[in-house]
Structure 1
Amino acid sequence: MLKRGVFVATIVYTIFIIVASLIKLDNFPKVEISFGDKIFHFLTYAVLTVSWFFSFSFTFKVKIKKALLSAVLLSVIFGIILEVLQDSLTVYRALDIYDVFANTLGALAALVILMKAKSLHVKN
């Protein structure tokens, strides 16, 4: 049950990112932090990568290294595709290379954290 729950939560989170990336955000409050948008992208894609890692490793029993690589690649490619879709499907959103950069850094940060957590777990 927990294994399926992890996968369902990952799918729901992924769909949430798709919707949030393609809707008009005029009615949402603006973040008044410098680079707040980029920090949000970074954190969103770090969480996405961790979610997909757990889905691959626990739900689908993919080996750790392959699950890590798959989660990072999926998150990075997903982020690029969403940026392109924002530019091509909407008139109120545009492709932002810095968003792609923040998404990628978030995915890579998740990779580092997961690798560190894995090494700590193996040592204990």
Structure 2
Amino acid sequence: MRKKLFLLIGILYTVVLATVCLIKIKKLPEIGVSFGDKVFHFLAYMVLAFLWFNIFVDTFKLKEKKALIYAALFSIVFGIIIEVLQGTITTSRSSDVYDVMANTMGVFLTVIIVFIRNLITIKK
């Protein structure tokens, strides 16, 4: 049951993230940070990579190293595809290489956290 729920949450999160990135949003709340959009991208893709890492481990029974690689690649490619779609199929959005960089940095932080967690777990 937990595996199916986690898979459902991961798919739902991915669909919602894609939708939010591709629809026209009339007015976003101001957070008072000039790079707030990049912070959102960083955190959103950090969560995306973490969710898919856990899905690959729990649902698809991949070893953690392989699951981490797959989750990172999936998240980075997904982010690139979303940015391309923003520039090609939407009129209210534009592609931004800095968004891709923020996405990728969020994914890499997830990779680092999981890697360090595994190092600490192995040493115990």
2-structure distance, mates of 1:3, 1:79: 25
1-structure distance, mates of 2:121, 2:59: 19
2-structure distance, mates of 1:2, 1:121: 23
Alignment-derived partner of residue 16 in structure 1: 16
User: Per-residue deviation at 1:23?
Assistant: 0.6
Alignment-derived partner of residue 64 in structure 2: 64
1-structure distance, mates of 2:121, 2:4: 23
Give 5+ residue unaligned stretches, structure 1.
none
User: Per-residue deviation at 1:26?
Assistant: 1.1
1-structure distance, mates of 2:118, 2:58: 14
2:66 counterpart of 1:76: no
1-structure distance, mates of 2:121, 2:10: 23
Counting only pairs closer than 5 Å after superposition, residues 105-120 of structure 1 correspond to structure 2 as 105-120=105-120
Give 5+ residue unaligned stretches, structure 2.
none
How many pairs align?
124
1-structure distance, mates of 2:26, 2:32: 15
Q: Which amino acid is 2:67 matched to?
A: A
Query: SS in structure 2 opposite 1:112?
Result: helix
1-structure distance, mates of 2:76, 2:45: 8
> If the length of structure 2 is used for normalisation, what is the TM-score?
0.96
User: Per-residue deviation at 1:90?
Assistant: 0.5
2-structure distance, mates of 1:21, 1:30: 17
Question: Does the aligned pair in 2 maintain the 1:31–1:37 contact within 8 Å?
Answer: no
* Identical pairs, percent: 44
Query: SS in structure 2 opposite 1:28?
Result: coil
> If the length of structure 1 is used for normalisation, what is the TM-score?
0.96
1-structure distance, mates of 2:119, 2:93: 41
Give the superposed CA RMSD.
0.9
Counting only pairs closer than 5 Å after superposition, residues 1-124 of structure 1 correspond to structure 2 as 1-124=1-124
Question: Does the aligned pair in 2 maintain the 1:42–1:103 contact within 8 Å?
Answer: yes
